[in-house]
Chains A and B, each alone.
Chain A
């Protein structure tokens, strides 16, 4: 990752235009060619320096249900349980964390019923209790990391 990559990462976290040739616009701001910008974004995604590039949809405003859930998974069962949880398409993110509640995942479902069913399925398959922690209020959401 060089200084051009860093400038691209910083710029693209701020938003991307909706226009006929958006890469060309952003490339001009960064003093790059359009082809070079596209190639570098592709490389940053391939290298997993960026995890995603595109529109971030607001699940609840699509009519879906979103929740954060946690489990206390015994250390000897952790890999098995991670596989079982990750296998569900409703699981959008899953993180291991240092805490007795050591597995934290986001469930995105089309309906509230789907969320309840997914939680029941996870509890049955894994044998672990799911602590469901749906958002009650959102005070701020905007991840930007400067590099």
Chain B
């Protein structure tokens, strides 16, 4: 987990850059120049600050986010696993290394009705493909796993991404 001492510092100008770009990059030849005009600083400074935020992990990536369904990935499953606590760090990392796993986290159980502490998102063109991925995760986990489920998404109800306010 991140602790406060590890947090990179974000100043007021960084916040303005974030506000100007969190809805997406301008789709023009010089997007960082357009952001610079909006923020009121030189383009070189926008680029230097974005590079710094990328290096420090404040920006995970600058990239396109696909709509799974539109790309033919109809079976998007949240797989959840009940893993012995003493082995979860080792096994969580190994599950995260599987090429078909896009997100892998440890989260708290809510006993008795929610025993699962490891979450891994899988994406298949159909449910058979997703089930094969589940089988590969199950094989990797072996005896350390006491139970699992796959929760398929049936509808995107909202997807706006993260937003800070100005």
Contact = CB atoms under 8 A, between A and B. Distances in A.
B57 interface: yes
A56 B58 CA distance: 9
B12 interface: no
A99 B151 contact: yes
Contact of A13 (B66, B97, B153): B66
Interface of B: 1-2, 7-8, 10, 18, 21-25, 27-33, 43, 47, 50-51, 53-54, 56-68, 70-73, 78, 88-89, 92-93, 95-97, 101-108, 110, 114, 119, 121, 123, 149, 151-165
Contacts of B164: 57, 62, 64, 110
Contacts of A135: 105-107
A63 B63 CA distance: 22
Interface of A is mostly: mixed
A18 B54 contact: yes
Given A42-B27, A96-B155, A144 B162 contact: no
A38 to B, nearest CB: 5
Contacts of B53: 55
B60 A58 contact: yes
A49 B110 contact: no
B63 A94 contact: no
Given A12-B64, A20-B43, A137-B1, A96 B157 contact: yes
Interface residues of A, number: 74
Interface of B is mostly: mixed
Contacts of B121: 143
A105 B159 CA distance: 10
B24 A54 contact: yes
A61 B18 CA distance: 12
Given A95-B156, A140-B96, 10 more contacts: A15-B63, A19-B47, A48-B70, A55-B62, A57-B164, A82-B157, A93-B158, A93-B160, A134-B107, A136-B105
Contacts of B24: 45, 52-54
A136 B107 contact: yes
